Structure 1
Amino acid sequence: MSRDTTYRPEASRASRPLLWIATLLAIVTMAPVAWLVGLSIKDNRELMLGTESVFRVPYTLINYINILYSSQAFGWFFNSMVVAIGQTLGVLVLSSLAGYAFARLEFPFRRTIFVIVLFGLAVPEQAVIIARHQMFNWFGLHNTHIGLILPGLSSAFGVFLMTQFFKAIPRDIDEAALLDNASQLRIFWKIMLPLTLPAQATLGIFTFLHAWNDYWWPLISATRKEMFTITIGIASSQQNFAQSEGLGFLSAQAVFASLPVLIVYMIFQRHIVTAVSGGAVK
């Protein structure tokens, strides 16, 4: 049976409003990004006279060159990269193990513990910030990479996502592996884990983005300038920027800080589409 591929003009006309809405949303979303890039390639002296100069030539790359030679942005960038990668790897490992246990294993109080974990979705970070600050102060973890990474490892969303994904995998796969005398660890590592790559890619991207853009906890935990993450470092540079470093230089730092997020999304976007479409398990 062949599909009807006849062109219908009325269907095309009905989709035009949606196309216009999508185009408008794309313009609204990209306009601040284009403005930021424009500011980053303008001379600071011109921007001090008026930001409308962003619409006319000349343009320059001097702000990006200054990042290479006279900026602490690389140190902040390194701190953010360590924290983001550490949190992403930790969340993927812990969430995958917990999700597999909740979805495929039987143990006492499994449902109760799972509900307690889900309560973490309802508790805002601000509600526990004082207790967390005191605990990290007692253990001397402030102004350390470990202190910046640890709070992000408890991901209730990650456990929930991986649990639901493991539940969607047919039980026949487990039974076939058990017939071949495979252990639970081998089933998890060799069979189940590869099937969850789309979900792990999605969770990894969300975790990386959250860790990279996090401002609240690094603002509290990192009090020494050399331990600033990129978000705290750029925010600290905004004070009296017109008299010190300049708006163009600050914009160049923001563009520089956005590159890892763009690269990560471009690499793993195929896995996100697969996870959302439900095509991970055939």
Structure 2
Amino acid sequence: MTRTFGDRLILALLIGAAFVWMMPMLWVLALSLKPNAMLVSSTRGIVPWPHTLENFATLLRVSLTPRWLLNSVVVAFGMTALTLVLSSLAGYAFARIDFPGRRAVFLLVLAGLMVPEQAIFVPLHTMFASWDLHNTYFSLIAPRLAAPMGVFLMTQFFKAIPSELEEAAQLDNASRLKIFWSVMLPLSRPALTTLGIFTFLFAWNDFLWPVVTATQPEMYTLSVGLGSLQGNFAMSEGLGFLMASAVFASAPMLVLYVVFQRYIVQGITMTSGK
């Protein structure tokens, strides 16, 4: 298909806008690869020459960064897996099972979207302190499993699936659990992928609750640990060290989004229909 002048103009504007949007990230990456001795005199330019990996080596050498990375991986994967299980089960129930009080319960779940997370930090802290569960993976994961947006997303997706597929399975004497596992879940892969990516991103970047429940450095997540380094090492290690920590924390998320971006678009498109 031949592109018109208007199409080319729009494409050029989008490319320009994308480049402008990427400039801060490129600048941070360039600073992380420059020697600190050079950054003292100037921080201009996005071409890291001469370049060095010393800032990243320092990041791994002077802190518990490998342990914080492990903590973030455990928390992010654990929270994502459990959220997918709970949200898909709840979404299927709200979309396909006619039980008493379904509408009222669904509205109650959605009401959780209106509660600021900061409003429940004090009771959560008190509860986990009374159970002596602070500084554990359980305390880092459990409070975030209540995901009203995930339930809403899965409910909308299951509603959009034709009911004839479920009725055909029922004619074959398939149980409700069998229908959910063999019919509905395979069809909901785009929505599950979208919810999984959003949950993983949230868990990886979460700062407020981990900084409340994790008081021992060994239990810091990557965001909390790198945040603590800014005060301790910013002046001694230099600007390149801080930029290296920013790249180290954000690179996995950028790769994850680039790899799964088509699933995100597909999931949001299909759940915004019916």
What is the CA distance between 1:267 and its match in structure 2?
3.2
Give the match for residue 161 of structure 1: 153
Alignment of 1:158-197 (within 5 A): 158-197=150-189
Q: Is structure 2 residue 131 aligned with structure 1 residue 119?
A: no
Do 1:42 and 1:54's aligned partners in 2 also have CA atoms closer than 8 Å? no
Q: Does 1:48 align with 2:40?
A: yes
Q: Aligned partners of 2:107, 2:227: CA distance in 1, in Å?
A: 38
> Residue 73 of structure 1 contacts residue 253 of structure 1 at CA under 8 Å; is this kept in 2?
no
Q: Which residue of 1 aligns with 2:81?
A: 89
Aligned position for 2:50: 58
Equivalent-residue separation in structure 1 for 2:111 and 2:48 (angstroms): 53
Checking the alignment, whether the CA contact within 8 Å between 2:79 and 2:141 is kept in structure 1 is: yes
What corresponds to 2:267 in structure 1?
A: 275
Per-residue deviation at 1:15? Answer: 3.5
Question: Secondary structure in 1 aligned to 2:44?
Answer: helix
Is 1:75 matched up with 2:67? yes
Contact 2:34-2:48 within 8 A present in 1 as well:
no
The residue number in structure 2 matching 1:248 is: 240
AA aligned to 1:149 is I
The CA distance in 2 between the partners of 1:240 and 1:49, in whole Å, is: 22
Residue 227 of structure 2: aligned partner: 235
Shift of the 92–247 alpha-carbon distance from structure 1 to 2, 3 Å rule, reads same
CA contact (8 A) 1:241 1:247 kept: no
Query: What letter matches 1:122 in structure 2?
Result: M
In structure 1, list runs of 5 or more residues that go unmatched: none
Q: 1:276: how far off?
A: 3.5
Q: For residues 151-198 of structure 1, give each alpha carbon's deviation from its aligned partner in whole angstroms, at most 9, with x where no partner exists.
A: 111100000000010011111111111111100000000110000000
For 2:189 and 2:58, how far apart are their aligned partners in 1? 40
Query: 2:33 touches 2:48 (CA, 8 Å); kept in 1?
Result: no
SS at match of 2:250: helix
The normalised TM-score by structure 1 is: 0.89
Cα gap change, 1:254/1:45 in structure 2, threshold over 3 Å: closer, same or farther?
A: same
Inter-partner Cα distance in structure 2 for 1:216 and 1:146 = 16
Further displaced range: 18-27 or 159-168:
18-27
Partner in structure 2 of residue 208 of structure 1 = 200
Q: Residue by residue, what CA displacement relative to the aligned partner does 1:17-45 show, whole Å, maximum 9, x if unpaired?
A: 53344234312321111111111111122
**Contact persistence 2:153–2:191 (CA under 8 A):** yes
Gaps of 5+ in 2: none
2:93 is aligned with what amino acid?
A
The root-mean-square deviation of aligned C-alpha atoms, in Å, is 2.1
Aligned equivalents of 2:73, 2:48: Cα separation in 1: 35
Deviates more, 1:242-251 or 1:185-194: 242-251
Aligned residue in 2 for 1:31: 23
Aligned partners of 2:30 and 2:48 also within 8 Å: no
With 61-70 and 171-180 compared, the bigger mean Cα shift is at 61-70
Contact in 2 for aligned 1:46/1:53 (Cα 8 Å):
no
Residues 5-16 of structure 1 mapped to structure 2, 5 A cutoff: 7=2, 12-16=4-8
